[in-house]
């Protein structure tokens, strides 16, 4: 199957960021329920938020964005054009696979996995929001 690409104008960046914020808000609401049945959805929204922020940064830098969901691949694409960006591929792969596996029967996200993946997503989200100019870096 051939992957397709999107060429989006720089003006699309705020829209991508707003979508990412929506995913993070959904994650926060789901976390307040503290329900084992919602852990998969929490991890899914964590992955989606990071994916959208990676795509926003790529678009901000004038890059073509592939219609893929692999965070490590998107991060690698960003690393090639943004000297300020670098992230551990293993963490991103864990976040990607956790979100994908959680969508299928036979896999349940544990409380520990949820906490770990949300923590990873939170750190990645903050770093990307700083690069995108929507969050201040602590001195």
pLDDT tens digits, 11-70 = 799 999 999 999 999 999 999 998 999 999 999 999 999 999 999 999 999 998 988 899
Query: Structure pTM?
Result: 0.90
Give me the CATH code for the 9-131 domain, please. 1.20.120.330
**pLDDT at position 77, please?**
96
**pLDDT at position 2, please?**
46
Domain boundaries of the chain, sorted by first residue: 9-131
**pLDDT at position 127, please?**
97
Residue 82 neighbours by CB under 8 Å, 6+ apart: 57, 61, 131
Of 66, 63, 84, whose CA–CA distance to 10 is shortest?
Answer: 63
Q: What is the mean pLDDT of the chain?
A: 90
């Amino acid at each position: 199957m051939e992957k397709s690409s999107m060429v989006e104008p720089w003006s699309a960046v705020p829209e991508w960021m707003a979508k990412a914020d929506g995913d993070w808000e959904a994650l926060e609401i789901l976390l307040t329920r503290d329900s084992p049945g919602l852990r998969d959805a929490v991890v899914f929204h964590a992955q989606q938020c990071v994916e959208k922020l990676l795509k926003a940064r790529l678009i901000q830098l004038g890059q073509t964005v592939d219609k893929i969901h692999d965070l490590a691949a998107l991060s690698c694409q960003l690393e090639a054009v943004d000297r300020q960006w670098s992230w551990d591929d293993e963490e991103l792969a864990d976040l990607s696979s956790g979100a994908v596996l959680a969508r299928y029967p036979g896999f349940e996200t544990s409380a520990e996995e949820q906490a770990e993946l949300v923590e990873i997503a939170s750190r990645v989200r903050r770093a990307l929001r700083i690069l995108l100019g929507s969050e201040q870096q602590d001195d």
